[in-house]
């Protein structure tokens, strides 16, 4: 990371300091003092920072998501210890995972809009500190209520990286370079849940107290918080423009310099509408967004359903202990690593060449769907592979390796649809992604609640087949958008339909 970029970026860290209020009328008199854009080589412009700085911030954003998602599934590995300690049922134990993910439903509605009001950095610092405190609370818990409450509230505050880390990447990378960064970042939400039960399982079989799992989560959060405190700069352009205007006022002694955000204030009603109503209004008015959200939510829910299905197949069926059973999730992460690697070396360069070919016009969003076209049928096939090799008489390697195809499919489906949403909705992409995060978190919280019962009632063969048939029914979704996406975009009131409109909105979203 260049010293110049980091020192300038690190100064752009907090909420704008209090200064003498500047009246709107005074500012309106002279547009020449409006600070509404920054040159690419300006140290305040995050898209002009060095590649090393950008990659460091990208990795840090991914680490925050890994931290939050690692915590979501980890109690699954100490399930028996919790049941023995608190004498609750297996359904209540599953709530220790589901309630944390349910917190993801609330968090994005708060932390996304608040980051646009105060900046990314202060929201990250505030929420992650509180999240760390709730991990300490869980480690000290002596009753069921404390465990469940700290898990839910921990999930609410852990949702900040899920809501805002993707926005940070969009802040610092342009569309041409964003694909590779998002590919690496996308691995974190799926690597975390697969690592959680593995670490927790070995804590349980080693005879160490289950409380150490939550102490480890608190320490992990604390390390991330210290890294943020000293090295994570502000990246949200409207806040950076405010800070740059403040700097100009201080250096010149001329208080007529101002940023757009300083004169654009929302009423309470507008803020409520922006936070709570607009995302869901957009979801139900946009058939494209609704279909993609349901597909991504199903995929995400099935990931968390694995934490109910895998113990039935591997712990009960193959008689593995909790530590070894936790290792059964590793192939899912391996498939994600393979997907990201192939994307970075094949699809990301293809997109960069397409950007150059189409210049000065933007690339059509449908180009982003290529990975989803390949992954959708493979993902559906992974359910049948897992289900019909899950007999105890069949080598455990057969269902185990199906996880590679599962992880591969999840990652490429998300990469294709996530990028498609961003490129389709541009200025409205943050709203679209926030409602997508909320809905998929509902699925992630709900699926484990019925997963164990479904796999026991139907058997792993037919339960997996049922999910496979649903996945087959959803497989045409990216193919439909590939063929009819342009027509659907032309009918949407949230998307620019012409090349000139798309170019203008691309420039505005970058600024």
User: Which residue ranges make up each domain of the chain?
Assistant: 62-234, 269-511
pLDDT band at residue 68 using 50, 70 and 90 as cut-offs: very high
Measured at the alpha carbon of residue 155, what is the angle toward residues 150 and 158, in degrees to the nearest 5? 120
**Which residue matches tokens 């708060």?**
110
pLDDT at 447: 92
What is the rounded average pLDDT of the residues 408-419? 93
pLDDT at 406: 96
pLDDT band at residue 20 using 50, 70 and 90 as cut-offs: very low
* CB atoms closer than 10 angstroms to residue 294: 17
Q: Is the pTM of this model over 0.95?
A: no
pLDDT at 395: 93
pLDDT band at residue 5 using 50, 70 and 90 as cut-offs: very low
pLDDT of residue 100 exceeding 90: yes
What separation, in Å, do the N-terminal and C-terminal C-alpha atoms of the chain show?
Answer: 23
pLDDT at 157: 96
Comparing 62-234 with 269-511, is the CATH topology the same? yes
pLDDT tens digits for range 428-462: 777 788 888 889 989 999 998 888 889 999 999 99
More confident residue, 333 or 179: 333
pLDDT of residue 118 exceeding 90: no
3-state SS assignment for residue 34: strand
* CB atoms closer than 10 angstroms to residue 287: 11
pLDDT at 170: 82
pLDDT at 434: 80
pLDDT tens digits for range 227-284: 999 999 999 888 888 888 888 888 788 787 787 777 766 666 666 666 677 788 888 9
Q: Using the 8-state DSSP alphabet, how is residue 160 labeled?
A: H
What is the rounded average pLDDT of the residues 75-79? 88
CATH class held by domain 62-234: mainly alpha
pLDDT of residue 347 exceeding 70: yes
What is the rounded average pLDDT of the residues 202-228? 94
3-state SS assignment for residue 258: strand
pLDDT at 267: 67
pLDDT of residue 79 exceeding 70: yes
pLDDT of residue 336 exceeding 80: yes
**Which residue matches tokens 């970026």?**
9
pLDDT at 10: 42
Question: Structure tokens of 330?
Answer: 């590793």
pLDDT band at residue 139 using 50, 70 and 90 as cut-offs: very high
**Which residue matches tokens 């760390």?**
132
What is the rounded average pLDDT of the residues 6-31? 46
Q: Which residues pair with 258 in a beta bridge?
A: 34
Task: Report how far residue 149's alpha carbon sits from residue 504's, in angstroms, rounded to the nearest whole number.
Answer: 46
Average pLDDT value over all residues in the chain: 85
pLDDT of residue 110 exceeding 80: yes
pLDDT at 1: 45
pLDDT of residue 386 exceeding 80: yes
More confident residue, 92 or 25: 92
% of the chain beyond a pLDDT of 90: 45
Q: Which of 59, 167, 71 is nearest to 111 (CA)?
A: 167
pLDDT at 16: 41
What is the rounded average pLDDT of the residues 502-508? 49
**Which residue matches tokens 């608040």?**
114
Mutual angle of helices 188-205 and 175-186, in 10-degree steps: 20
pLDDT of residue 33 exceeding 90: no
Task: Report how far residue 364's alpha carbon sits from residue 424's, in angstroms, rounded to the nearest whole number.
Answer: 8
pLDDT at 497: 54
Those residues whose C-beta lies under 8 Å from the C-beta of residue 89, and which sit 6 or more positions away, are 83
pLDDT at 279: 82
- H or E element that contains 469: helix 429-474
More confident residue, 216 or 236: 216
pLDDT at 499: 47
Q: What topology does CATH give the domain 269-511?
A: Growth Hormone; Chain: A; (1.20.1250)
């Amino acid at each position: 990371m260049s010293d110049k970029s980091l020192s300038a970026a690190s100064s752009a860290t907090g909420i704008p300091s209090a200064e003498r209020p500047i009246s709107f009328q005074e500012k309106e008199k002279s547009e020449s003092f409006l600070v509404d854009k920054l040159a690419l080589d300006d140290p305040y412009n995050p898209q002009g920072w060095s590649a090393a700085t950008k990659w460091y911030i990208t990795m840090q954003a991914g680490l925050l998501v890994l931290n939050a998602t690692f915590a979501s599934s980890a109690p699954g590995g100490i399930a028996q210890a919790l049941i023995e300690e608190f004498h609750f049922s297996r359904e209540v134990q599953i709530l220790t995972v589901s309630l944390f993910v349910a917190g993801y439903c609330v968090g994005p509605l708060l932390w996304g809009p608040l980051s646009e009001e105060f900046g990314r950095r202060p929201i990250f610092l505030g929420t992650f500190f509180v999240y760390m405190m709730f991990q300490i609370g869980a480690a000290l818990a002596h009753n069921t209520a404390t465990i469940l409450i700290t898990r839910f509230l921990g999930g609410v505050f852990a949702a900040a990286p899920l809501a805002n880390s993707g926005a940070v990447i969009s802040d610092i990378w342009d569309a041409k370079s964003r694909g590779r960064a998002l590919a690496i970042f996308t691995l974190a939400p799926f690597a975390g849940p697969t690592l959680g039960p593995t670490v927790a399982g070995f804590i349980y079989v080693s005879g160490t107290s289950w409380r150490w799992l939550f102490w480890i989560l608190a320490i992990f959060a604390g390390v991330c918080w210290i890294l943020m405190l000293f090295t994570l700069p502000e990246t949200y352009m409207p806040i950076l423009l405010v800070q740059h205007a403040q700097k100009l006022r201080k250096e010149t002694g001329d208080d007529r310099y101002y940023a757009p955000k300083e004169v654009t204030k929302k009423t309470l009603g507008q803020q409520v509408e922006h936070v709570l109503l607009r995302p869901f209004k957009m979801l139900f008015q946009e058939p494209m967004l609704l279909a993609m959200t349901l597909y991504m939510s199903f995929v995400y829910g099935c990931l968390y359903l694995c934490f109910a299905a895998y113990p039935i197949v591997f712990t009960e069926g193959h008689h593995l202990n909790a530590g070894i059973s936790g290792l059964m999730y590793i192939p899912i992460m391996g498939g994600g690593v393979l997907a990201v690697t192939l994307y970075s070396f094949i699809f990301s360069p293809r997109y960069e060449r397409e950007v150059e070919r189409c210049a000065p016009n933007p690339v059509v969003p449908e180009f982003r769907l290529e990975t989803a076209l390949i992954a959708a049928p493979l993902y559906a096939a992974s359910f049948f592979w897992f289900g019909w090799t899950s007999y105890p008489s069949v080598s455990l390697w057969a269902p185990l390796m199906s996880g590679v195809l599962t992880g591969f499919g999840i990652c490429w489906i998300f990469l294709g649809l996530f990028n498609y949403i961003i490129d389709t909705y541009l200025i409205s992409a943050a709203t679209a992604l926030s409602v997508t995060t909320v809905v998929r978190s509902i699925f992630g919280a709900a699926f484990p609640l019925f997963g164990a019962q479904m796999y026991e009632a139907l058997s792993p063969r037919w339960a997996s087949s049922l999910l496979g048939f649903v996945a087959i029914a959803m497989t045409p979704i990216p193919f439909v958008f590939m063929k009819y996406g342009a027509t659907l975009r032309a009918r949407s009131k949230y998307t620019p339909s012409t090349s000139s409109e798309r170019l203008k909105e691309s420039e505005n979203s970058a600024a």
